Amino acid sequence: MGCSNGTFAGDGPPFCANPDCALHVRAGDPGVEGFGNWAVLPSGLQVGRGCYGGRYLCDFCGMGRNANSSAAQRLSNTG
C-alpha cells in the first residue's frame, strides 16, 4: 500500500504499522481521540509518524528504537 494514503481514520491504516507497537491503533479505537499524524500520549508526550520503508510507523519504530516498550512505558506512567 505504501504511504500515499496519509489519513489516520477509523477505516484507514493504523497510526503505526508495527503490530507489536502500543501505537498500533486506529482513530475510533477505544481510548483513541482524534486523528492525524501526531499522537499525544496521556503523559503529554507528542509522537509523530512518518513513512519509513513504505509504511507509516510512529517515530519510535521508524527510528529503530524499541517502540513497544518506549510507548507502552509512557502510556503506563501516566498516573
Report helix, strand or coil for 12.
coil
The pLDDT score that the predictor gives to residue 41 is 75
The pLDDT score that the predictor gives to residue 4 is 65
The pLDDT score that the predictor gives to residue 79 is 40
Gap between the Cα atoms of 1 and 55, Å rounded: 8
Mean pLDDT of 39-48: 82
4-35 per-position pLDDT tens digit: 655 555 567 889 999 988 889 888 888 887 77
- pTM equals 0.70
- Between CA 9 and CA 71, with CA 78 as vertex, the angle to 5 degrees is 50
- Between CA 54 and CA 5, with CA 13 as vertex, the angle to 5 degrees is 60
